[in-house]
Structure 1
Amino acid sequence: MRLNELLGRRVVDAEGNDIGGVADVRLVQDGPLLASRQAALRIDGLIVVEKHATRLFGYERHVGPALLRWLVHRRLGQVWYLPWADVAEVAETVTIHRGHADLRPLDEVARY
Structure 2
Amino acid sequence: MRLNELLGRSVLDRQGERIGGVADVRLVQDGPLPAGGSQAALRVDGLIVVERHVTQLFGYERHVGPALLRAIVQSRLGEVWYLPWADIARITEEAVELSSARTELRPLAELARY
For the superposition of Structure 1 and Structure 2, which TM-score range results when normalised by the shorter chain? over 0.9
Which amino acid counterpart does residue 86 of structure 1 have in structure 2?
Answer: D
Any idea what SS the aligned residue of 1:39 has? Answer: coil
Q: Among residues 88, 105, 108, which one is paired with 1:106 in the alignment? A: 108
Instruction: Quote the residue 2:18 is aligned against.
Output: 18
Identity of aligned residues (%): 71
Which amino acid counterpart does residue 104 of structure 1 have in structure 2?
Answer: R
- 1:71-103 CA distance string (max 9 Å, x none): 101110010000000000011200000000100
1:27 aligns with 2:27: yes
Q: CA deviation at 1:37?
A: 3.0
Partner Cα separation in structure 1 for residue 77 and residue 25 of structure 2 = 16
Any idea what SS the aligned residue of 2:61 has? Answer: helix
TM (norm. structure 2) is: 0.93
Partner Cα separation in structure 2 for residue 45 and residue 8 of structure 1 = 15
Give the 5 Å matches for 1:1-112: 1-35=1-35, 36-91=37-92, 92-112=94-114
Which amino acid counterpart does residue 85 of structure 2 have in structure 1?
Answer: W
Q: CA deviation at 1:63?
A: 2.8
Q: Which has the higher strand share?
A: 1
TM (norm. structure 1) is: 0.94
Computed over aligned residues only, the root mean square deviation of the Cα atoms, in angstroms, reads 1.0
Q: CA deviation at 1:111?
A: 2.1
* Greater alpha carbon shift after TM alignment, 27-36 vs 85-94: 27-36
Give the 4+ runs in structure 1 shifted more than 6 A.
Answer: none
Count of residue correspondences: 112
